[in-house]
Amino acid sequence: MPVQPIPTGAISPRLRFFFACASLAGGMLIAGALPPAAAAKDVSGIAATGKGAANGGASKPRPAPDVIVFTNGDQLSGLLERVSGNSVLFKSDMAGELTISMDKIKELRSSGNFAVIRKSVPFRRGTVQMGTVTLADKKVTVANPAGSPLTVPQSDVLYLIGQSTYDHDLARKPGPFYGWGGNFTLGSSIVKATQNSTTFTGAMSLQRGIPTVQWLPRRNRTTFNMNEAYGKVTQPGTADVKTSIFHADGERDEYISTKTYALGQLAYDHNFSQGLDLAQTYGIGLGRTIIENAVQQLDMKGDLHYLKQQFQDPSNNEDLVGSTFAEIYVRHLPHKVLFNEQLSLSPAWNFEQAFAAAGSATLAVPVYKSFSLSVSTIDNYLNNPGAGFKKNSFQFTTGLTYSFK
């Protein structure tokens, strides 16, 4: 059936303008008037719908695997993760993650970029050469596309560090939000009866160590902890009973050696149950890591501090100079259960009666992904509480904990 032409008068001026523009664009395309870059983009698009589409879309070629040749002639391919001292950490699809002694390796070739940290040369940012690495004849060679390769005796290699780790932890100073890990805990109980009881507990623990990887010597560590327990009991015709216990502390450690560090710390405490409105502590000291491995860590530290105590009764206020001697123990139990224990003793040197002690223990049991069930005890002893208040304050709490890295 022949197509009937549309009378010119039946088309509005706006449609006639649209058709004219479309015809002009079509003419330019046919005449090759489009820019070369656009034409190239069109051609690449056509190619992508051909062979590229048949292969599931264009993709970057996978880098060649890293290779280890052992002294007995055996060969293993996979991914070189790092070298630390005389140990090589190598990940193979078939054998998994392996730690291999350097003296068992005849040759090693990496396709990824690594930085060599030497024993004989003090580390300085911006002076380390980055490139692919080859180990042969007891020498490590770092390629340099822009110049001569760097060759280092194998015995002089302290670390071989991948580019990502080097860039984040060594090449530049980390930003204020980089590398933090920790957990948040919440718990509550509500009772509605003759007596109405409401209790809320919350805790937060944050920590950042630089470098963030455990196998590099630590330069500094920053921690922040906070916990709050609030409870209220009401009954018609009787006075309300309230409990409020708050603690927050922060600490900065600067490492003098691999195990010893100088520290600066501050802490704030409020304990309604002991008549204490606010205690402010500011101190400096030294700490040392006594035990540190994949299962457990034990730290001991001591400080000299200034403590300002403000009580509900101002006549009990004190300005104290004292010290805190503390130990912190962390242990990783089977099935990813985490145990954390702390104990501290704080004598006051200018007022012997104003000493304090504190202890806490927490057990966190994983329940789902990053969530765990935590059970905690906290005991605070204050030898000079406000008049009419007990010296000891004990808490037992349970809650849901979310951990992050």
- Residues 58-81 have pLDDT tens digits of 556 677 899 999 999 999 999 999
Q: Which pLDDT score is estimated for 369?
A: 93
* pLDDT number for residue 6: 44
Q: Identify the pLDDT of residue 45.
A: 38
Q: What is the CA radius of gyration of the chain?
A: 33
Predicted pLDDT at 49? 39
CA atoms within 13 Å, Cβ hemisphere of 369: 3
For the entire predicted model, the pTM comes to 0.73
What's the pLDDT at 213?
83
**Res 43: pLDDT:** 33
> What is the DSSP code string of 372-391?
EEEEEEEEEEESSPPTT--S
| The pLDDT of residue 60 | 62
Q: What per-residue confidence (pLDDT) applies to 58?
A: 55
Regions in the chain scoring below 50 on pLDDT: 1-55
Residue whose tokens read 């969530």: 371
Note whether 168 and 212 are within 8 A (CB): yes
H or E element: which one contains 128?
A: none
CATH code that applies to domain 181-404: 2.40.160.40
Structure confidence at residue 224 (pLDDT): 97
**Structure letter (DSSP) for residue 138:** T
Q: In the prediction, which pLDDT does 52 show?
A: 43
Cα–Cα distance measured from residue 19 to residue 29, given in angstroms and rounded to the nearest whole number: 16
Q: What are phi and psi of 69, to 5 degrees?
A: -110, 120
Token digits of residue 362: 């927490």
Domain ranges for the chain, please list them: 66-171, 181-404
pLDDT in tens, 139-179: 999 998 778 899 999 999 999 999 888 888 887 778 888 89
